[in-house]
Amino acid sequence: MGPPHCGVLGRKAGSIEGFVYSDTLREANFVWDDSHLHDFLTFPIMNFPGTKMGFAGMFDENDRSDVIAFLKAERAADSPMCQPGADPAPPPGTNTGELGGPVPTPTHIPRSDGTVKAPS
């Protein structure tokens, strides 16, 4: 689906060994920092023509700042997902979000009749 997104801040663009990047990112010659991430994330296919990233973009600057802060925190926290050689694949059966890690299973399940099933 994509290169490991975790640990991307401070990494050279297009540099994960073994991932087949678009020419755009493979030939990019910069390190991901706040300003490059803001540019990329605002509108990936417009600001980085040719990118293969299937993500529409985030027009709200605060949203982008939140995501970038999250990426920084992930790195700072030394998350196991960010360790060199870590298997980015979660254990089988785990729900994951795009950025990795378990996503909580919903406890209140909506029924089609409008009522909600509470946790048992």
Q: Which string of b and e fits 25-59 if b means at least 16 CB within 10 Å?
A: beebeeebeeebbbebbeebeeebeebebeeeebe
Site string for ligand HEM, 82-101 (x = CB under 6 A): ----------------x---
Site for ligand HEM in 51-70 (CB under 6 A): 51-55, 67
Establish if 3 lies at the interface with ligand HEM (CB under 6 A).
yes
Tokens of 26: 């493979």
Residue 116: CB minimum distance to ligand HEM, A: 29
Q: Which residues are registered as beta bridge partners of 7?
A: none
Establish if 6 lies at the interface with ligand HEM (CB under 6 A).
no
Q: Which residues bind ligand HEM (CB under 6 A)?
A: 1-3, 5, 8, 13-14, 16, 21-22, 24-25, 32, 37, 40-41, 51-55, 67, 98
